[in-house]
């Protein structure tokens, strides 16, 4: 049996899915930034990390990318760091979040009703995490 998502993980995933639906995500996904207290920011960061561990999201850093990856410029010059393609790659501070195919499927269930991953339907219009996420 799969482990259920915490309430905060459900809220974060539903919020990210709503951003994906409302705006076309860029190559790095949707922007991610937290505000509020340090403990609140740390809590959201842990929830996001746990969602990544489950394979539902992939944290990205648009500024420096992943030092483990190599990107090739249009001129053919290779340089370190760009978009992460695996959660096993290191990364810097999260600036964007990309929903995986599995994350999209679970998030759809969160916005339409209960699924095997959740222990309650998440109210999409009243997300407590939404006020902590800046545009």
64 vs 4, more confident: 4
Considering only the C-alpha atoms of the chain, give the largest distance between any 2 of them, rounded to a whole number of Å.
51
1 vs 93, more confident: 93
- The number of folded domains in the chain is 1
41 vs 80, more confident: 41
Q: Quick one: pLDDT at residue 127? A: 45
Q: How would residue 78 be classed by pLDDT, with cut points 50, 70 and 90? A: low
Q: Quick one: pLDDT at residue 84? A: 73
Evaluate whether residue 103 is within a structural domain.
yes
Evaluate whether residue 28 is within a structural domain.
yes
- What is the percentage of the chain residues whose pLDDT exceeds 70? 66
Range of the domain at 11: 7-61+90-132
Please give the structure tokens belonging to residue 61.
Answer: 């850093």
Residue-wise DSSP of 6-33 = PHHHHHHHHHHHHHHHHS--BTTBEE--
Reported as a single tens digit per residue, the pLDDT across 17-68 is: 999 988 888 878 898 888 889 999 999 999 999 999 999 999 988 776 655 5
Q: Quick one: pLDDT at residue 45? A: 92
CATH of the domain at 44: 1.10.10
Evaluate whether residue 1 is within a structural domain.
no
Q: Quick one: pLDDT at residue 42? A: 92
Q: Quick one: pLDDT at residue 71? A: 55
Across the chain, where does the E strand assignment appear? 30-31, 57-60, 66-72, 78-82, 96-99
Q: Quick one: pLDDT at residue 65? A: 61
Evaluate whether residue 99 is within a structural domain.
yes
Please give the structure tokens belonging to residue 104.
Answer: 């999209």
């Amino acid at each position: 049996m799969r482990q259920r998502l915490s309430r905060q993980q459900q809220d974060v995933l539903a919020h990210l899915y709503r951003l994906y639906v409302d705006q076309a995500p860029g190559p790095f996904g949707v922007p991610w930034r937290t505000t509020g207290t340090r403990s609140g920011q740390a809590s959201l960061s842990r929830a996001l990390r746990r969602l990544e561990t489950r394979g539902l999201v992939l944290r990205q850093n648009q500024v420096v990318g992943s030092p483990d990856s190599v990107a090739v410029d249009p001129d053919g010059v290779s340089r370190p760091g760009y978009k992460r393609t695996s959660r096993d790659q290191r990364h810097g501070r999260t600036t964007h979040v990309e929903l995986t195919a599995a994350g999209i499927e679970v998030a759809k269930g969160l916005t339409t009703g209960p699924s095997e991953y959740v222990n309650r339907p998440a109210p999409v219009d009243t997300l407590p995490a939404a006020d902590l996420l800046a545009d």
